Amino acid sequence: MTHSKAIALTFDFELFFKAAGSIEKCLVRPTSEILEILAPQRANCTFFIDTLFVLRLREVDSTAATRVENLIREIVKAGHRVEPHIHSHWVDALYRGSGDWDFSNLTHYRAQTLPPQTLLELFQKSCELLNGLAREGDPNYQVSCFRAGGWCIQPFAPLKDAFIRCGLKNDSSVAPGIQYSGIAHDIDFSSLSSGAPVLFLDDPLKQDSNGKFLEIPISTIRWSLAHGAMFRVSRRLSPQHYRGVGDGQGLSLKRKRSTFFFQKMLSLEDTPTWIYQSLFFQAKRDPLVVISHPKSWNQLAKKNLECILAQNTYRLETLHELGKRYAIF
């Protein structure tokens, strides 16, 4: 059967940012399970690696850093893409020992707050790290896609030079219709309503025929307070189905405006399976971009992943492949 439409599975490979959690439970165990499920299908996905975490880990615990680097090697060896996911507040994180980090300084949570030269160096070191690991198997490997830590891609201008110098052509940080605020976040993607890729130059929300970059948005679904209430009931009834394997604690986010209907990211770990079944039945959207996090891996995520692998409407593509198909630069 020919699959005319594409679905991209993306995994943000990182610890938590309030209480970090352990490498074993947030990364090793869930990633190994994800790779095991994907292997028989030869389904290739995109892993956004929190590169600054790996670089900081090298400074404080070389054994743990080697463990994480070996896991990244396994991801690449299995045929998946690894791309940079920069959480710049690692520059201010303090190591307390025994795998514990102090994230109380979030001054540089958004990479745009860093001096231009520091920002460029972080991008270059991040891309060198991933290219270096991936080139052990494929000498021509070149990272091509970026996802901003906490989706903080706005404003894009301070990141543009780093994109060009690092050979980054695609971004997947924008989620149409989402507006979040928090102690560190300030995200407004409300002006974008479609999930179609956007060729852009200075603003990933604005199509520009002279664009040098491609925004491949994370898919969002229309969600209501009633959906939320039903979902909470179902979580209360079978908590083991929804409990994440990760043992850390995340930063909280708030929707900027409180409305009955709102957009929610299409994820593996907290999107009901019937939403996927309905998207595959309708087969209207192309591409679909799913976001997931090994640290939040739970039984629902596993069920959704199996549902995606079992359907016949969409073929799995990496963001790198999608980028090559949509881009005209």
- Applying CB under 5 A, the residues found at the interface with Zn ion are 12, 14, 149
Which residues, at least 6 apart from 288, have a Cβ–Cβ distance to it below 8 Å? 5, 6, 7, 8, 195, 219, 266, 279, 314
- Tell me, what DSSP letter sits at residue 17? S
Is 211 or 294 the residue whose CB approaches Zn ion more closely? Answer: 294
Nearer residue to Zn ion within complex by CB, 6 or 265: 265
Between the CA atoms of 7, 133, 88 and 35, what dihedral angle is there, to the nearest 10 degrees?
40
Judged by CB, which is closer to Zn ion: 14, or 69? 14
CB proximity list for 324: less than 8 A, separation 6 or greater: none
Rounded to a whole number of angstroms, the minimum distance from the CB of residue 85 to Zn ion is: 6
We find the least distance from the C-beta atom of residue 47 to Zn ion, in angstroms, to be 12
CB atoms within 10 A of CB 164: 12
Q: To the nearest whole angstrom, how small is the minimum distance from the Cβ of residue 217 to Zn ion?
A: 16
User: What are 157's two structure tokens?
Assistant: 């201008």
Q: 85 vs 285, which CB is nearer to Zn ion?
A: 85
Task: Give the whole-angstrom CA distance, residue 300 versus residue 273.
Answer: 8
Q: Which is nearer to Zn ion, 19 or 229 (CB)?
A: 19
Helix (H), strand (E) at residue 198: strand 198-200
Kindly state the tokens that stand for 58: 């090298």
| Residue placing its CB nearer to Zn ion in the complex, 154 or 279 | 154
Q: How far is CA 90 from the centre of its chain?
A: 17
As a dihedral over the C-alpha atoms of residue 80, residue 125, residue 162, residue 49, rounded to 10 degrees, the angle is 30
**Least separation, in Å, of the C-beta of 262 and Zn ion?**
21
Rounded to whole angstroms, the Cα distance separating 161 from 121 reads 11
Give min distance, CB of 185 to Zn ion, in A.
Answer: 11
Q: How far is the CB of 1 from Zn ion (least distance, A)?
A: 35
Our CB check for Zn ion shows the closer of 86 and 199 to be 86
Query: Least CB distance from residue 60 to Zn ion, whole Å?
Result: 20
Nearest distance from C-beta of residue 71 to Zn ion, angstroms? 17
The residue to which tokens 């002279």 are assigned = 210
What is 64-92 written as a DSSP string? HHHHHHHHHHHHHHTT-EEEEEE-GGGGG
Of all residues in the shown chain, the one whose CB is closest to Zn ion is: 12
| Closer residue to Zn ion, CB minimum distance, 149 or 195 | 149
Q: Using CA atoms, how far apart are residues 84 and 290, in angstroms rounded to an integer? A: 17
